[in-house]
Amino acid sequence: MDLVPAPRHRDGLILGISAYVWWGFFPLYIRLAKPTGSYELVAHRIVWSLAICLILLVATRQWRRFLEVLGSGRLISWLSLAGLLLMFNWSIFIYATLTDQLVDAALGYYLNPLVSIALGVGLLRERLAVAQWAAVAVAGIGVLAVWLSTGHLPWISLVLAFTFGFYGYIEKVMVGGSPALVTLTIETLATTPLALVFLAVWGATGRQTFLNLGAGHVLVLLGMGIATAVPLLLINGAFRRLPLSVIGQLQFLCPTLQFLVGVLLLGESMPLARWVGFVTVWLALAILGVHATRASAVVRES
């Protein structure tokens, strides 16, 4: 018996695939914004994303639900935390993209399904099957291999994996009943004061690039709002329509595309030892995939 209604499941797949493909190629857009630094880019992402969200709230007539959620202290607390996690995640990802460390970022998103498993055990008291424990152990070996091959802990990978893992947990478990546009608007609103203060200080000290590099650069930074809000709306919609196990499998699309962009288009280095680490992590994900497929088959038969 299928636990997710077919139309809802199909819509969730379309939303999820669209979001992860978008994110997979997003680094190419980020690099168009050079020489703007990562902090200024994140601030512009926040401000212009909020503008897009407010326009969509008006267009879709979701103001009433927006005000209802604003009246819930519990939801506001969780959504504010989610917004901070997103801001931190964006900062690290943009930094990795601008400093030719996109492959490390891809590794972080490969690790994200394993972080979701860890959160399930630590926060939801879920029990793991032997295959899941094996996958976590093998992935740990892969991270160790990358660490040894580069001489430093892949902190970018780990930070991205854990921040987005916690964000997904909040979206799925803590605020899952609220519309995606409403929650994204509040998450962005929670971090907008920080972004505005940063932009004001950056402008006052003469370090802002928004108006100093021509109309084309202005359009690129303004486009950060659309490029940020659209995939987040898509993935938030997918979170509400699909089980976390399915979301975890779809997540492989994003890092795979980012990995290919980093290696094939941006020419990032992949020495043999680093390949060993990635192949080990891919093996862990393959173990998870086989386990998830078998578990789904058992559910359908029952």
Write the CA distances from 150 to 2, 144, 155, 263, 295, integer angstroms.
Answer: 45, 10, 12, 16, 37
| Residue range 102-115: mean pLDDT, rounded | 84
Contact 46, 232 (CB under 8 A): no
Cα 172 vs. chain centroid, distance in angstroms?
Answer: 14
Q: What is the pLDDT of residues 157-209, one digit of tens each?
A: 899 989 988 888 887 777 767 787 888 899 999 999 999 999 999 888 888 88
> Residue ranges per domain, the chain?
6-301
What does pTM read for this prediction? Answer: 0.81
pLDDT digits (tens, 9 = 90+) for 130-163: 777 777 777 777 777 777 776 777 899 899 989 9
Mean per-residue pLDDT, 37-63:
89
Nearest to residue 230, comparing CAs of 48, 73, 43, 105? Answer: 48
Q: Residue 62: how many CB atoms within 10 A of its CB? A: 18
Percent of the chain having pLDDT more than 90? 26
Indicate if the pLDDT at residue 6 is higher than 80.
no
CA distances from 27 to 60, 67, 83 (A): 30, 34, 21
